Amino acid sequence: MNDETKSPKLENAPTLMIVLGWYAIIGCLVFSAAIIAADLFVPDHDWIADTISDLGAGKYEFIVDIGIYAFSGSLISVALLAAHVHMGGWGWSCGIIGLALLGLIVFLVGARNEYGDNDSDGVVIHIYLVYALGLLMAIIPWLMSQGAARAGRYYGQVLVGISIVWAISAPVFFFLPDEIDGIYERYLGLIAFAFVFVLARLFIRRGRKLKG
């Protein structure tokens, strides 16, 4: 039997789990810090009325873009972790794919720069990315809840709760007056952060247990 036909040695790589888990959390914190910094530097910005997209256009767009890319990395990190530590079931598998797509969508939102400045050159896909992000965020936590519950009932319950809260809250954003949609968008961001934090905590704790 040659080396190519031998079964590979399987390893849990707990250090990798801990590092990726902490990066997922740090990426969310970097995004938060970027928004706060942009709130301070962008002139005539009203953080209650103006959305994060408004901060992502103009002279200081790089500040928010850094945060967007960091959060994209957070989503990809938890997707990698979920694939590395598969908790079983088709829902978990679909969740892995969904997390990877979420990471790509968030990255494209930052890279396309189609927001906040009435950009209409070429094909504008920002609104479609937003719709896709909203739909995936409503579905993925629920899909992964059963698998997460195998690590502890708490994880499954929280993921179901996040899915329900997002599904109820997200559509409201499109009907809000411009005077308050900025702060409401930040509230939705906290829900997304909570989803990442729950998964990151699951994998960090698992990695620590494996390291003993």
Query: Does 7 fall in a domain?
Result: no
- 58: tokens are 């103009």
Query: Does 47 fall in a domain?
Result: yes
Query: Does 124 fall in a domain?
Result: yes
Q: What is the count of structural domains for the chain?
A: 1
Query: Does 6 fall in a domain?
Result: no
| Distance (Å) of CA 40 to CA 46, 78, 173, 174, 180 | 10, 30, 24, 26, 18
* Rg (alpha carbons) of the chain, rounded to whole number: 19
C-alpha span between 155 and 48 (Å, rounded): 32
Query: Does 149 fall in a domain?
Result: yes
What is the tens place of the pLDDT at every residue in 119-147?
545 456 888 899 999 999 999 999 999 99
Q: Which residue type, as a one-letter code, is found at position 12?
A: N
Is the model more confident about 160 or about 116? 160
Query: Does 1 fall in a domain?
Result: no
> pLDDT-based confidence at 8, cuts 50/70/90?
low
Placement of tokens 């002279």 in the chain: 59
Query: Does 3 fall in a domain?
Result: no
What is the model's pTM? 0.90
C-alpha span between 99 and 80 (Å, rounded): 9
| Distance (Å) of CA 96 to CA 6, 69, 77 | 28, 19, 11
- Return all residues near 91 (Cβ < 8 A) that are at least 6 apart: 142, 143, 144, 145, 146, 147
Query: Does 4 fall in a domain?
Result: no
Supply the pLDDT for residue 178: 83
64 within 8 A of 194, measured Cβ to Cβ: no
- For 152, the domain range is 12-211
Supply the pLDDT for residue 202: 97
C-alpha span between 10 and 141 (Å, rounded): 28
- Return all residues near 126 (Cβ < 8 A) that are at least 6 apart: 53, 109, 112, 114, 115
C-alpha span between 66 and 87 (Å, rounded): 32
